[in-house]
């Protein structure tokens, strides 16, 4: 028998973005919310994360707007030394569980159904069933359905590699690295993205010699210096200085290659190997100490993607390399967010949370909820405020990604209400820091003037680069 439920907003997915959206909606309206998720606890992909995972941005920018995640402390030891704390995966899952149990559910306006599979069509029929009990539910939605699963996360523990692995090969996701009980001859890390970086750093910090690590990278990436992402006024010259440098680098660039050269020279971008031109950009951050550690690994394989892992050799697009039965092969080939397509955030009765600011998914979800709560049925206006910032993969994507984020920032600056909201939203990060700059602080004022001066030329140059990219793609 099917149980009938009713709610104002049905949120499919209690992952990080679903939680951040729900938090702001609950805080700013009296709406009833029903959340459905397949995991046993809120937090989405964090429930499947590897045990040594941490945030790669300061914890102050993560979580829901109404509750602090960060301890407010700087790391005194380790590769993040001198910068603000990066919460562990265990911290994040515990945090979201606390938010659900101690904030959402006590309101009496939130229903939460974990271990449930949504079987509706996001259009007219909204049904789900309990994975544990098999009970069937139908939901009558009076306002909107929120598809908080649109940005699909692929994590190593649930990822299926797109290459073959022969029988007898020791092959594992990086989740299983701490479970190794016998010392191997060497480690082969497959994947050049953030999980590959995390695997290599964990091995190095555990005492593995760099000479015992073979790192297979189909692409190298431009990375962000974490020093430029710190959340307090103490780091103003780094954070806002980096923003000014980004705009100046773009505005003054002769071409796209020159733009990346300028971005690196200014300190906005870093790369692990300065002799290799990156072709990937995912927006990952890294510390200078982490860069130094990674540069100690000399056995880097750049022969394209892996096709087959055998007992004696690994076949790649552009060649083969030897391996052995006594090597541990570590799968880091999963892409954190796998779909790059976009759809309007507000589309009839469906809300689809996506990035509306670069690098900040949970701020984005919070702003989308605020926009829904504040701007009524004006869908065109709401989509103007919440223009989608498309997820980047290649260096070309950096252009479109940055252009969209800058256009959104301009739109927000023209609306006083949003400006005030940004000042009070803890996930925003920098609006209050900028607003608090004293008029006699010449150094900080100079940085802000540099930003304002370069902003319009930067947006114009990005538009020209986008036209070049589109022309090249159409040829």
- Domain 2-153+338-398 has what CATH class? alpha beta
The answer to whether 324 and 166 are in contact (CB under 8 A) is no
Shared fold status for 2-153+338-398 and 164-331: yes
Q: What is the pLDDT of residue 340?
A: 64
Q: What is the pLDDT of residue 467?
A: 97
Look-up of token digits 């065109």: 380
The answer to whether 18 and 110 are in contact (CB under 8 A) is no
Domain range annotation of the chain: 2-153+338-398, 164-331
Q: What is the pLDDT of residue 372?
A: 98
Tell me which DSSP letter residue 45 carries: G
Q: What is the pLDDT of residue 176?
A: 95
Widest CA span of the chain, in angstroms?
70
The answer to whether 461 and 453 are in contact (CB under 8 A) is no
Tell me which residues of the chain have a pLDDT lower than 70.
153-155, 157, 336-340
Four-way CATH pick for 164-331: 3.50.50, 3.30.70, 3.90.1170, 1.10.287: 3.50.50
Residue 140, C-beta contacts closer than 8 angstroms, at least 6 positions apart: 4, 5, 6, 7, 126
Q: In what order do the strands lie in the sheet with 300-301?
A: 171-173, 327-331, 186-190, 213-216, 300-301
Q: How far apart are CA 43 and CA 204, in angstroms?
A: 29
Q: What is the pLDDT of residue 337?
A: 56
Q: Pairing mode, if any, of strands 136-147 and 127-130? A: antiparallel
Q: How far apart are CA 245 and CA 269, in angstroms?
A: 10
Rounded to 5 degrees, what are φ and ψ at 146? -115, 115
The answer to whether 149 and 66 are in contact (CB under 8 A) is no
Q: What is the pLDDT of residue 432?
A: 87
In this prediction the pTM is 0.96
Q: At what angle do helices 442-474 and 395-413 cross, to 10 degrees?
A: 130
Look-up of token digits 């101690």: 102
Residue 352, C-beta contacts closer than 8 angstroms, at least 6 positions apart: 146, 147, 150, 343, 344, 345
């Amino acid at each position: 028998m099917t149980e009938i439920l009713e709610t104002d907003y049905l949120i499919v997915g209690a992952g990080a973005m679903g939680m951040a959206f729900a938090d702001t909606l609950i805080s700013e309206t009296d709406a009833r919310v029903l959340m459905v998720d397949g995991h046993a606890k809120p937090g989405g992909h964090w429930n499947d994360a590897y045990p040594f995972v941490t945030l790669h941005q300061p914890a102050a920018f993560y979580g829901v707007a109404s509750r602090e995640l960060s301890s407010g402390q700087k790391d005194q030891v380790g590769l993040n030394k001198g910068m603000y704390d990066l919460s562990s995966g265990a911290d994040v899952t515990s945090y979201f569980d606390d938010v659900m149990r101690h904030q959402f559910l006590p309101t009496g306006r939130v229903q939460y159904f974990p271990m449930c599979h949504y079987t509706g069509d996001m259009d007219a029929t909204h049904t789900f069933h309990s994975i544990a009990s098999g009970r069937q539910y139908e939901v009558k939605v009076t306002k909107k359905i929120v598809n908080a699963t649109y940005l699909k996360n692929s994590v190593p523990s649930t990822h299926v590699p797109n290459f073959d692995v022969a029988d007898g090969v020791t092959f594992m996701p990086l989740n299983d690295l701490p479970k190794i009980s016998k010392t191997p001859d060497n480690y082969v890390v497959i994947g050049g993205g953030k999980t590959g970086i995390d695997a290599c750093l964990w091995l190095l910090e555990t005492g593995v010699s760099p000479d015992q690590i073979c790192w297979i990278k189909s692409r190298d990436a431009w990375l962000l210096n974490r020093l430029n992402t710190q959340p307090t006024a103490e780091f103003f010259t780094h954070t806002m200085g980096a923003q000014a440098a980004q705009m100046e680098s773009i505005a003054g660039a002769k071409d796209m290659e020159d733009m990346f050269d300028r971005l690196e020279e200014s300190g906005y971008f870093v790369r692990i190997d300065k002799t290799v031109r990156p072709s990937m950009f995912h927006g990952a951050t890294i510390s200078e100490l982490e860069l130094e550690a990674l540069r100690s690994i000399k056995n880097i394989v750049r022969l394209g993607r892996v096709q087959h892992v055998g007992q004696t050799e690994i076949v790649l697009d552009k060649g083969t390399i030897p391996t052995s039965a006594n090597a541990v092969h570590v799968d880091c080939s999963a892409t954190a967010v796998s779909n790059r397509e976009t759809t309007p955030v507000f589309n009839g009765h469906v809300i689809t949370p996506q990035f509306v600011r670069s690098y900040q998914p949970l701020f984005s979800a919070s702003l989308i909820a605020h926009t829904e709560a504040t701007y009524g049925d004006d869908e065109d206006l709401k989509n103007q405020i919440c223009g989608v910032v498309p997820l980047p993969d290649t260096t070309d994507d950096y252009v479109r990604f940055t252009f969209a984020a800058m256009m959104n920032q301009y739109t927000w600056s023209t609306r006083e209400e949003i400006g005030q909201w940004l000042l009070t939203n803890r996930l925003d990060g920098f609006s209050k820091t900028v607003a608090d700059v004293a008029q006699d602080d010449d150094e900080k004022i100079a940085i802000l003037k540099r930003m304002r001066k370069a902003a319009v030329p930067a947006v114009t140059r990005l538009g020209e680069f986008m036209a070049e990219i589109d022309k090249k793609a159409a040829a």
